[in-house]
């Protein structure tokens, strides 16, 4: 019997060396794109198919890869491999796709690099509207994660929060996702904010950058 291949969700992050987006906006764009790709809130409600169901039954692994401005534009325009979501926050842009096995991913995505995603840590773009109950991702800033690594952890946390809360109102869900906030917390802040977490604590497997079983992120909600 052939083993069922493990699936991974590709997320493509714009990394423009000449005019880089900020670390925080890029993390948020990637996290929101990841969840929007599943929720389908920008089109027709929740997406449920075999690939998503299989992916969600595991560790819902994500791979954040970087693309320069020209490559990002080509991928965004590729109708043969259309992304499920494209999110823009300030100068940051991220696209997320449906989960797939590595061997089934288009070469245009596989050839993109995972390393080299460190972006400048400048103030995040403030959402135009903020509502009670909107998610705020809390990242463990003591770990010094790269933008790509932090984006993947933020996406895990936001995904877990969204799955817990459900998708009964797709329009509201989309508004809340687009208003997502971000806190990069000190070790002390991270421990304190865990007391009011509104979603599961994300613990990394330790395959890249950080040690196994390290707590990386969770979501709280705006009061």
Residues 55, 100: Cα–Cα separation, whole Å: 8
- The answer to whether the beta carbons of residues 62 and 95 sit under 8 Å apart is no
How does pLDDT run across 174-200, given as a tens digit for each residue?
A: 667 888 999 999 999 999 999 999 999
Structure tokens at 129: 């509207």
Share of the chain above pLDDT 90, in %: 65
Mean pLDDT within 145-154: 96
Residues 10, 63: Cα–Cα separation, whole Å: 5
pLDDT value of position 46: 45
Dihedral sign, Cα of residue 178, residue 64, residue 121, residue 87 = negative
How does pLDDT run across 62-73, given as a tens digit for each residue?
A: 999 999 999 999
The alpha carbon of 83 is separated from its chain's Cα centroid by a whole number of angstroms, namely: 14
| Torsion angle (degrees, nearest 10) of CA 117, 118, 119, 124 | 90
Residues 74, 105: Cα–Cα separation, whole Å: 16
- The answer to whether the beta carbons of residues 108 and 75 sit under 8 Å apart is yes
Structure tokens at 124: 């995040």
Share of the chain above pLDDT 70, in %: 90
Residue spans of the domains in the chain: they are 9-112+128-221
Predicted confidence band at 1 (pLDDT cuts at 50, 70, 90)?
A: very low
How does pLDDT run across 32-55, given as a tens digit for each residue?
A: 999 999 876 444 444 447 888 888
Task: Find the DSSP H helices in the chain.
Answer: 23-39, 50-56, 69-76, 107-110, 147-165, 170-178, 187-193
At 179, phi and psi to the nearest 5?
-100, 10
pLDDT value of position 172: 57
């Amino acid at each position: 019997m052939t083993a069922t291949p493990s699936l991974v969700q590709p997320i493509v992050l714009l990394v423009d060396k000449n005019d880089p987006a900020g670390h925080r906006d890029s993390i948020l764009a990637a996290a929101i794109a990841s969840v929007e790709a599943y929720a389908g809130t920008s089109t027709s409600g929740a997406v449920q198919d075999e690939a998503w169901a299989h992916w969600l039954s595991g560790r819902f692994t994500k791979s954040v890869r970087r693309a320069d401005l020209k490559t990002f534009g080509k991928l965004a325009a590729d109708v043969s491999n259309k992304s499920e979501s494209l999110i823009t926050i300030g100068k940051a842009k991220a696209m997320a796709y449906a989960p797939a096995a590595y061997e089934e991913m288009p070469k245009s995505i596989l050839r993109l690099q995972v390393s080299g995603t460190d972006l400048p840590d400048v103030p995040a773009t403030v959402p135009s509207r903020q509502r009670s109950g909107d998610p705020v991702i809390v990242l463990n800033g003591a770990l010094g994660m790269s933008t790509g690594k932090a984006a993947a952890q933020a996406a895990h946390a936001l995904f877990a929060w969204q799955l817990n809360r459900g998708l009964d109102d797709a329009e509201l869900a989309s508004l809340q996702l687009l208003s997502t906030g971000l806190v990069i917390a000190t070790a002390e802040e991270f421990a304190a904010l865990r007391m009011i977490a509104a979603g599961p604590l994300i613990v990394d497997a330790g395959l890249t950058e950080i040690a196994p079983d390290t707590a990386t992120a969770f979501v709280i909600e705006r009061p």
